[in-house]
Chains A and B, each alone.
Chain A
């Protein structure tokens, strides 16, 4: 793990990168990294994020600035900008049931080719997917998701990069921190090694590549 400035971290992300962003309706989202993506005008991004938040918050900021070409997500209902950009064919939106979304990322982070889920059977979600019978029950094969970068927000990070999360801000963060080539983390508090007890570490330090240093 290396501590870097937010400018330096975002400069590593090229236009067109595939980027996972933690958070649920903007809660547990690394806002400083999103602000910097907008400032550096990184464009044609493929975003993998549970939802599109709302304008002005979380990943919503990336759509306000029209920086996204593809969005893989479970819900865009509270962000009219995304709906508009989707209808105008400016953003390709892949809608995925939320439980399938998280399991595809988990699979990507755990070396699995995908998962078998009953969710989506008999709906338009099954179109184009392989159906597999196991013990007489039908499942959809949902393939793994990985990304070039994962942007993670933690509650505590220690100097080594061990992470814990707070309350409902945990959500997709620990799962995404497993599933990207490069993992960049912002934290509410950076604390000395030892402050986070081993039993309380949720994301172990070796998974973290870059921690955004305090300004």
Chain B
């Protein structure tokens, strides 16, 4: 299984029936592909839609129905559309049960940096700061390391997205949580050992006596 599928499959296990969920661009978007068919989840697209459906069939795309990246999508039965004040009222007001976002760095205190690399890449924060600040639960879905460097760091060097700590990081190597304010290795990916995770993680992980493998 490739890194992105491992991450997306594992994040999908966190979804609960009835959840209103906002998926970020990139790996988080893939999570929708692994939702069990008996699970009724509402996906929000922050450009003004609850009930996003799959990419339309060839020739069925509508130019006024897109995801937050501007790509054509469809809408499921029961979908609703609204303006951006409502969309961010849902996000900031705590009505979104779960958001899944990409990350550049997550630190030992669970703080996320995911919107700029000073001097290099300044795309802007878009909706990320509101999502991390306001969603009930925040999961970061990202590769464990980039170019051999750990993205799980002791302290974020990049500008923070929010001071609010996230709840969970799912990578291609591990599931890491922050319960009780302590960065803890909860699970390892199939075929990955605890020692391997520790070796590529800059932050000082707490290792419980039993670290199970992801059930994906």
Chain A residues at the B interface, C-beta cutoff of 8 Å:
24-28, 50-51, 53-54, 73-78, 83, 86, 93, 95, 97-100, 102-103, 106, 117-125, 155, 165-175, 202
Contact = CB atoms under 8 A, between A and B. Distances in A.
B201 interface: no
A86 B120 CA distance: 12
A98 B91 CA distance: 11
Contacts, number: 142
A168 B50 CA distance: 10
Given A54-B70, A99-B92, A171-B48, A123 B161 contact: yes
A171 B83 contact: yes
Interface of B: 45-49, 62-66, 68-70, 75, 81-85, 87-88, 91-92, 121-130, 133-134, 159-163
Nearest to B75: A167
A93 B122 CA distance: 10
A45 B131 CA distance: 31
10 contacts: A25-B66, A73-B124, A74-B124, A77-B124, A83-B122, A123-B163, A167-B48, A168-B48, A170-B83, A173-B83
Contacts of A86: 122
B47 A27 contact: yes
A196 to B, nearest CB: 16
Nearest to A175: B85
Interface SS, B side = loop
Contacts of A106: 85
Contact of A169 (B64, B87, B124): B64
Which of A54, A73, A75 is most buried by chain B, counting CB atoms within 10 A of its CB? A75
Contact of B125 (A97, A122, A168): A97
Given A83-B122, A103-B85, A98 B64 contact: no
B129 A175 contact: no
A131 B85 CA distance: 22
A25 B83 contact: no
A77 B83 CA distance: 22
B106 to A, nearest CB: 15
A27 B63 contact: yes
A75 B81 contact: no
B78 to A, nearest CB: 15
Given A74-B124, A102-B85, A97 B129 contact: yes
Given A123-B160, A167-B75, A74 B81 contact: no
Nearest to B118: A124
B123 A168 contact: no
B48 A98 contact: no
Contacts of A28: 64
Closest 10 CB pairs of A and B: A77-B123, A122-B163, A25-B70, A99-B88, A99-B130, A75-B124, A169-B64, A97-B129, A75-B126, A98-B127
Contacts of A174: 83
Contact of B127 (A73, A95, A99, A120): A99
